[in-house]
A and B are shown apart, each in its own frame.
Chain A
Amino acid sequence: DAKTTQPPSMDCAEGRAANLPCNHSTISGNEYVYWYRQIHSQGPQYIIHGLKNNETNEMASLIITEDRKSSTLILPHATLRDTAVYYCIVRANRDDKIIFGKGTRLHILP
């Protein structure tokens, strides 16, 4: 089962930053936080991952709290194409498979 808790849905206005929270209070020291998204009926798309430091790439930023029990994915300037289900996944460095939860359905509003 998924080790993360995410709100089932969120809205964000187009052009604003979308901040998606995730709780992973039972995370272990060897477990990474991964984010994927799934745009309607498409394959999951890798976004970003991190262990304890904040990470940024061309798609998003990942902020992990110091105790690592929660994190936030930030899409800095949301567009309509960012409407998708966003999955926060905790994955050990020995886990080959990805275990998906229900994710957060993000609606970007025009």
Chain B
Amino acid sequence: EPEVTQTPSHQVTQMGQEVILRCVPISNHLYFYWYRQILGQKVEFLVSFYNNEISEKSEIFDDQFSVERPDGSNFTLKIRSTKLEDSAMYFCASSIQIYYEQYFGPGTRLTVT
């Protein structure tokens, strides 16, 4: 069964450093998403992406964040200058069509020290 994959599984970085989280969505899916979950809290929507453009973004997704689909298979989330409060699990998701069910990857645990 096709699945969303994410790398790395765990990323440790120092405050102020840039990080790039990588995702490979399910191959025939067209819509891509990033969510995050701070330890012990709810899963929160960050951004949706379609046709090489951001469709929607939350208040969390400020200028420090960016997304890109650099090739036909990868979808990345970049945090330009990490803060302690960016420490969280980051989940990538994809769906075949907009408003359809979304399939999530296993997540990347980001720890900012």
Check: B21 CB closer than 8 A to any chain A CB: no
Q: Mark A16-55, 1 if CB is under 8 A from B, else 0.
A: 0000000000000000001000100111111001000000
The contact string, 1 if C-beta is below 8 Å from chain A, for chain B 47-72, is: 01000000110100000000000000
Q: Quick check: is A96 within 8 A (CB to CB) of the other chain?
A: yes
Q: Are A46 and B102 in contact (CB under 8 A)?
A: yes
A38 near B103 with CB under 8 A, answer no
Q: Which residue of A lies closest to B92 (CB)?
A: A43
Cα of A108 to Cα of B21 in the assembled complex, Å: 34
Taking CB atoms, residues of chain B closer than 8 Å to A98 are 35, 43, 45, 102
| Set of chain A residues within 8 Å of B45, measured between Cβ atoms | 97-99
Does A94 count as interface, using CB distance less than 8 angstroms? yes
Is B44 among interface residues, defined by CB-CB distance under 8 A? yes
Give the chain B neighbours of A95 by CB distance below 8 A.
99
Q: Are A97 and B33 in contact (CB under 8 A)?
A: yes
Asked whether, in the complex, the Cβ of A94 is within 8 Å of the Cβ of B43, the reply is no
Chain A residue, CB-CB nearest to B42: A100
Selected from A46, A93, A94, A102, the residue in CB contact (under 8 A) with B42 is: A102
B12 contacts partner chain A, Cβ-Cβ < 8 Å: no
Q: Please state if A100 and B44 are interface contacts (CB–CB under 8 Å).
A: yes
Please, how many angstroms separate the alpha-carbon atoms of A91 and B98 in the complex? 12
Q: Is the CB of A97 within 8 A of B56?
A: yes
Question: Contacts A93-B99, A96-B55 hold; do A43 and B42 have CB atoms under 8 A apart?
Answer: no
In addition to A46-B102, A46-B103, A94-B99, 8 A-B residue pairs with Cβ atoms within 8 Å of each other are A42-B106, A44-B43, A46-B104, A93-B99, A95-B99, A96-B99, A98-B43, A102-B42
Instruction: Give B contacts to A, CB under 8 Å.
Output: 4, 31, 33, 35, 42-45, 48, 55-56, 58, 89, 91, 93, 98-99, 101-107
Q: Residues of A at under 8 Å CB distance from B? A: 34, 38, 41-46, 49, 91, 93-102
